[in-house]
């Protein structure tokens, strides 16, 4: 006998606010049974001395020291603008006066 019924799937779908067609309910009922079998296999594994973790392989961020590096590209960048006004780009007006 199956551990999950179509009514169980309907109840979970309702709780998840999913509108499932009857053919989908039958499909998901069949698909969920092997998933529950796998979970029961996992429950049988002894994890007494295994520390809790969020992932199988620990991820470590590689960081570098933050530092300011002076550059002399400001003038080069400003000179690439189609129009320049002192230390600013000059752009067309896009807002109308009221």
Q: How far from each other are the two terminal CA atoms of the chain, in whole angstroms?
A: 76
Q: Domain 6-43, what architecture?
A: Orthogonal Bundle (1.10)
Would you tell me how many other CB atoms lie within 10 Å of the CB of residue 9? 21
**Per-residue pLDDT at 55:** 83
Average pLDDT over residues 9-32: 93
**Per-residue pLDDT at 2:** 63
Average pLDDT over residues 45-74: 87
* Neighbouring residues of 6: CB distance < 8 A, sequence distance ≥ 6: 25, 26, 29
Stated pTM of the model: 0.44
* Neighbouring residues of 4: CB distance < 8 A, sequence distance ≥ 6: 29, 32, 33, 36
């Amino acid at each position: 006998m199956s551990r999950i019924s179509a009514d169980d799937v309907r109840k979970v779908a309702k709780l998840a606010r999913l509108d499932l067609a009857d053919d989908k309910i039958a499909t998901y009922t069949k698909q969920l049974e092997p998933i529950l079998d796998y979970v029961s296999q996992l429950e049988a594994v002894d994890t007494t001395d295994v520390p809790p973790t969020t992932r199988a392989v620990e991820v470590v961020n590689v960081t570098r020291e933050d530092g300011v590096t002076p550059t002399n590209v400001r003038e080069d960048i400003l000179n690439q603008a189609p129009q320049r006004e002192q230390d600013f780009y000059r752009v067309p007006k896009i807002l109308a006066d009221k």
